[in-house]
């Protein structure tokens, strides 16, 4: 169990299903798909034609909308840096500002603070880098003059700390599709071990390039064969016709805070973090391990002193791959046994697609919003349920369900696993009315 209680006091989201919490959760509960044909990525030479495309989002107008809502000096830095940065970095800045505004903390950030910043992911600006490679091949002088800076993942964390003036520890962590949960674990550790009062978990948009998508298609990881003309049907966890994950844009930020610090300032509290654990399968290939996943779930529950039957809801990794979906379900059955008849599961990627490095954070925001409403979004596109799926996966309809404790799974390429356990908070400052 954690030595210090840790709570979530701010959240933000930016996906094709919404750039604010209310729109986002309402669209999820309505079963709306974020998946379309690629519009802002040239897919003419590649197999991949469908994804969750946020590229037409007007980030400049969104930045302008914060004028008068945040301190003038923060807005000026935000506008200056956000409007010049590559798309993924600009969205990281927007979601970070939004999360601290949501936390009621953006006007409380003091000079010399010890606020931590942890960015989840790696190889983030892929499309920007790809385009600069094209420019270089045409004429080296055409490369963006700030490419050496913007091309670095560390520019995400540097930019966030600059705009918000966060002076605590700041770094990036990469664990493929488990990056968001690993970043959350780091944030919790900063509070537990280093007397950090507040930490930001920043999960950026992975700005895919055509090269990335073609490589994933050739490897057989993503959907590209059957649903080009009906992209909204392409992401279909647990369905017999699933053929791979659907890549998607999405970003989220969590403001994580030491409990006593949050109470002292009168913060609203979304949820309490009971623990986050990580592990490796010891296998560099993208082959999910039932043993590895089950072992990690058991370790997390044991370390948090939580019994399997106390978990009410599992936000599944469920990527819509033939092997991955069933491997995760088998590991859940191993851990939860007879409780599988009671626990509820759903698949946010059925609507959102796979936001990859930010997925655990994006889906944690979704999970907490559902927990505080006691209502689960549907897992859509399950037309023919796989015969092995005998757990309630909220097939094609939202479900009323009382949730006190949730588990968030995230499993990345290279056998990189990370899982969080989060509890509903109903005490002083709770968002539950």
Task: Give the model's confidence band at 144: pLDDT under 50 very low, under 70 low, under 90 confident, else very high.
Answer: confident
Task: Give the model's confidence band at 62: pLDDT under 50 very low, under 70 low, under 90 confident, else very high.
Answer: very high
Residues 139 and 330: their CA atoms lie apart, in Å, by 53
Q: What number of residues does the chain have?
A: 433
Residues 423 and 271: their CA atoms lie apart, in Å, by 6
Residues 431 and 424: their CA atoms lie apart, in Å, by 10
- Angle, helix 87-102 to helix 154-164, in steps of 10 degrees: 40
Where would I find the H helices in 103-239? 126-138, 147-150, 154-164, 179-193, 210-219
**23-27, 218-222, 234-238: segment of lowest average pLDDT:** 218-222
Residue 250: both structure tokens together? 């999405």
To the nearest 5 percent, what fractions of the chain are helix, strand and coil?
A: 40, 20, 40
Measuring CA to CA, how many Å separate 249 from each of 203, 224, 337, 354? 11, 17, 35, 8
Cβ neighbour number for residue 101 with a 10 Å cutoff: 18
Residue 90: both structure tokens together? 């600009």
Give the pLDDT confidence score for residue 286 in this predicted structure. 79
Give residues with Cβ within 8 angstroms of 264, minimum separation 6. Answer: none
Mean local confidence (pLDDT), 64-87: 97
Judge whether residue 149 has pLDDT over 90: no
DSSP state of 45: T
Cβ neighbour number for residue 377 with a 10 Å cutoff: 28
Mean local confidence (pLDDT), 83-108: 97
How much is the mean pLDDT over the chain? 96
Give the pLDDT confidence score for residue 433 in this predicted structure. 67
Judge whether residue 1 has pLDDT over 80: no
Give the pLDDT confidence score for residue 145 in this predicted structure. 86
Provide φ and ψ at 130, rounded to 5°. -60, -45
Tell me the domains of the chain and their CATH numbers. 6-271 (3.40.47.10), 276-413 (3.40.47.10)
Nearest to 53 by CA among 65, 43, 66, 62: 43
Burial class (CB in 10 A: 0-12, 13-18, 19+), 205: buried
To the nearest whole percent, how much of the chain has pLDDT over 70?
Answer: 100
| pTM summary value | 0.97
pLDDT in tens, 155-183: 999 999 999 999 999 999 999 999 999 99
Residues 311 and 405: their CA atoms lie apart, in Å, by 5
Run of H or E residues at 344: strand 344-346
Residues 348 and 130: their CA atoms lie apart, in Å, by 29
pLDDT in tens, 313-343: 999 999 999 999 999 999 999 999 999 999 9
pLDDT in tens, 368-393: 999 999 999 999 999 999 999 999 99
Residue 89: both structure tokens together? 């970095």
DSSP annotation string for 319-339: -S-HHHHHHHHHHHHHHHGGG
Residue 165: both structure tokens together? 């003036």
Residues 230 and 313: their CA atoms lie apart, in Å, by 30
Residues 94 and 183: their CA atoms lie apart, in Å, by 19
pLDDT in tens, 233-287: 999 999 999 999 999 999 999 999 999 999 999 999 999 999 999 999 999 887 8
DSSP annotation string for 54-114: -TT--HHHHHHTTBTTB-HHHHHHHHHHHTTS-HHHHHHHHHHHHHHHHTT-TT---TT--
Q: Is the dihedral of CA 289, 292, 295, 298 positive or negative?
A: negative
Are 271 and 8 spatial neighbours (Cβ–Cβ below 8 Å)?
Answer: yes
Give residues with Cβ within 8 angstroms of 426, minimum separation 6. Answer: 432
Residues 360 and 315: their CA atoms lie apart, in Å, by 9
Mean local confidence (pLDDT), 41-55: 95
DSSP state of 430: B
Strands 170-173 and 116-120: parallel
Three-state SS for 243-312 is CCECEECCEEEEEEEEHHHHHHCCCCECEEEEEEEEEECCCCCCCCCHHHHHHHHHHHHHHCCCCHHHCC
């Amino acid at each position: 169990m954690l030595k210090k209680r840790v709570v979530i006091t701010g959240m933000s989201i930016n996906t094709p299903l919404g750039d604010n919490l209310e729109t986002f959760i309402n669209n999820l509960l309505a079963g709306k798909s974020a998946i379309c044909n690629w519009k802002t990525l040239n897919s003419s030479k590649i197999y991949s034609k469908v994804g969750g495309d946020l590229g037409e989002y007007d980030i400049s107008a969104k930045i302008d909308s914060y004028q008068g809502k945040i301190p003038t000096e923060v807005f000026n830095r935000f506008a200056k840096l956000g409007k010049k940065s590559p798309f993924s970095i600009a969205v990281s800045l927007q979601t970070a500002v939004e999360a601290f505004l949501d936390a009621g903390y953006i006007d409380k950030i003091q000079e010399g603070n010890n606020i931590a910043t942890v960015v989840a992911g790696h190889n983030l600006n892929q499309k920007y880098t790809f385009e600069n490679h094209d420019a270089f091949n045409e004429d080296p002088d055409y490369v963006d003059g700030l490419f050496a800076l913007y091309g670095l993942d560390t520019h995400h964390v540097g930019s966030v700390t600059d705009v918000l003036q966060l002076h605590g520890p700041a770094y990036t962590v990469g664990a493929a599709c488990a990056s968001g949960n690993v970043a959350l674990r780091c944030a919790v550790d900063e509070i537990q071990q280093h007397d950090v009062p507040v930490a930001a978990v920043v999960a950026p948009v992975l700005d895919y390039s055509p090269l990335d998508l073609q490589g994933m298609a050739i490897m057989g990881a993503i959907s590209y064969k059957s649903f080009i003309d009906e992209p909204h049907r392409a992401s279909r966890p647990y369905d017999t016709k699933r053929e791979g994950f659907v890549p998607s844009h999405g970003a989220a930020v969590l403001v994580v805070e030491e409990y006593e610090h949050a109470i002292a300032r009168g913060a609203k509290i979304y949820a309490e973090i009971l623990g986050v654990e990580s592990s490796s399968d010891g296998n560099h290939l993208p082959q999910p391990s039932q043993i590895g996943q089950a072992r990690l779930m058991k370790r997390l529950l044991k370390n948090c002193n939580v019994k399997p039957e106390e978990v009410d809801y599992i936000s599944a990794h469920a990527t819509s791959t033939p092997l991955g979906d069933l491997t995760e379900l088998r590991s859940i059955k191993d851990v939860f046994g007879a409780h599988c008849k009671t626990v509820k599961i759903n698949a946010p990627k059925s609507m959102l697609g796979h936001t990859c490095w930010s997925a655990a954070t994006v889906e944690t925001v979704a999970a907490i919003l559902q927990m505080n409403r006691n209502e689960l979004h549907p897992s859509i596109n399950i037309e023919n349920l796989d015969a092995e799926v005998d757990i309630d996966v909220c097939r094609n309809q939202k479900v009323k369900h009382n949730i006190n404790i949730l588990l968030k799974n995230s499993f990345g390429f290279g056998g990189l696993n990370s899982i969080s356990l989060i509890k509903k908070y109903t005490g002083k400052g709770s968002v539950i009315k």
